[in-house]
Amino acid sequence: MNKILGTKGERLAAEFLTRNGYEIAERNFRYARAEIDLIARKDNLIVFCEVKTRRSNIYGSGEDAVDGRKQAQIRKAADGYLADRGLDDCDSRFDVIVVELGRDTTRIRVIEDAF
């Protein structure tokens, strides 16, 4: 069930980014046992996105789940992505996208430059 929920959240986050002028460059990019959910581009900006999908906040908010250890993993994968593709000259940032799936509504919150 969690895998299905996470996949739905990533799809909704990608659609949201696309509607807002971003191109999805990669989904579920893996590098040295670390993963980045979405990598988006807009002009010369590369955005590394960690997507957290929640039906409730019973286990904490989505952004709270991106702790220091998770941030370090994402940074490591981002460094690998930039180096492998020769994109060291591009600006980049790290966003957390929280997808909240309610009974009748879906809410997407983007925390830009989250870490």
Domain parsing of the chain, residue ranges: 2-111
Residue 1's pLDDT band, with cuts at 50, 70 and 90, is low
- How far is Cα 84 from Cα 17, in angstroms, rounded to an integer? 24
Residue, of 88 and 97, whose pLDDT is higher: 97
Contact status, residue 62 vs residue 15, Cβ threshold 8 Å = no
- How far is Cα 61 from Cα 107, in angstroms, rounded to an integer? 13
Closest CA to 11 of 37, 45, 47: 37
Computed on alpha carbons and rounded to an integer, the radius of gyration of the chain in Å comes to 14
Tell me the pairing of strands 106-111 and 23-31: unpaired
| pLDDT given for residue 87 in this prediction | 92
Residue 5 pLDDT greater than 90, yes or no: no
Residue 67: strand, helix, or coil: coil
Which class in CATH covers the domain with range 2-111?
alpha beta
Query: What's the pLDDT tens digit per position in 14-71?
Result: 999 999 999 999 999 999 999 999 999 999 899 999 999 998 877 777 888 899 999 9
Residue 86: strand, helix, or coil: coil
Query: What's the pLDDT tens digit per position in 78-91?
Result: 999 999 999 988 89
Residue 2 pLDDT greater than 80, yes or no: yes
| pLDDT given for residue 18 in this prediction | 98
Tell me the pairing of strands 91-101 and 45-54: parallel
| pLDDT given for residue 3 in this prediction | 85
Q: Count how many Cα atoms sit within 13 Å of the Cα of residue 20 in the half-sphere of its side chain.
A: 11
